[in-house]
Structure 1
Amino acid sequence: MPHHSRTRTDELLTAAQTGSVESLGELLQLYTNYLKLLVLAQLEKNLRVRVSPSDVVQETFFEAHRDFPQFRGQSSAEFIAWLRKILVNNLCRVVEQHVLAEKRDVRREVSLERLATALEQSTARLEAVIPDPGSSPSAGAHRREVELVLADQLAELPTDYRDVIVLRHIEALPFEEIARRMERSSGAVRMLWLRAVKQLRERLGARGVV
């Protein structure tokens, strides 16, 4: 079973809502790599050298700590949805700052709605590399927990492996475009992708996920 159990996240959420700052901090840390992955998937290549996913996530955690008394949800699903909204606002602000700093056409300013939609699509595409648990409510909760484990394991992969999986499965790019971005041949990218997926599945399998 994944080490992020639904029981554990719900327990931490309940404890946080009763005033435990320590539980809130521990709960947020569970989502660190998951949120970093979503940020990475939304950044264009030219912004990745200037915008740190870690900084965006840390700002999101700061605001989540500050505004947690306003959270009215009761489940981990509602909590992660709330976190994603905060993340979208922070990511949008950071990207807009860089767009404006470069004096680009104002028509290219970031749309909050577009960014939110893109981030939701990135979340959905994580399903391409995890097993299908079915369609029951408990299965949906299980999938959310598996996504956290998946993000943690992706963070531990070699950079090239992580990048090719993000580009292929989360940004949903064709191999030709991935090859252009990674400055490799299409054949080399396909082989890299196969090795990356194999290693990721082995890591997930060792944790009882696949």
Structure 2
Amino acid sequence: MQEEADLIDKAQAGYREAVNALVALHWQPLYRFLAYKVGDREEAKELSQETWLRLVRALPQYRQNGASFKSFLYRIAGNLVVDHWRKNGRKPVLVELEECKQQLPVEEGPEAWTLRQERQIVLQEVMGELPLEQRQTLEWRLLAGFSVKDTAAALGKSEGAVKMLQLRALEQVRKRLAVRGFLESEEVRK
């Protein structure tokens, strides 16, 4: 983490190489997070770029003694997602058949691909049914890869509250997946 702290100091001092190094460290998880939140690769790319632009503008105000850099970055991204939905509303994502063909891995047949897609849709539905705080906790902890401490800072909660929210959210996910037939009843008890 000291290496990241040094990069932040250099980036704040105006060194472009340091900003590029921070982007290299964080762009892929950030993009995955945004793609999950908006459901569209192109929109996620645009939001990712806008996140980095806003980060560069906000970098002088960032202080390393408070929230982690990752929390700071994802707060910017989260605000952009909220702005995106306010501006565009929620629209169904239309996928071209040719795009689906290109996504199909060679080793995965159409049946396996269809099942995987169905599982992803059901998981997104289940996540959408969770109370907001539980859903946000899982998104920050599991999708964005935040630590308990960073998640607590991002959500304005104690670390104990984050742990409890995560536990309850995972229990709800298991139960809801079991109801839909995606987990055996013994797996729900674990």
Structure exhibiting the larger radius of gyration computed from Cα positions: 2
TM-score, normalised by the number of residues in structure 1: 0.44
Higher relative contact order (CA 8 A, sep 6+): 1
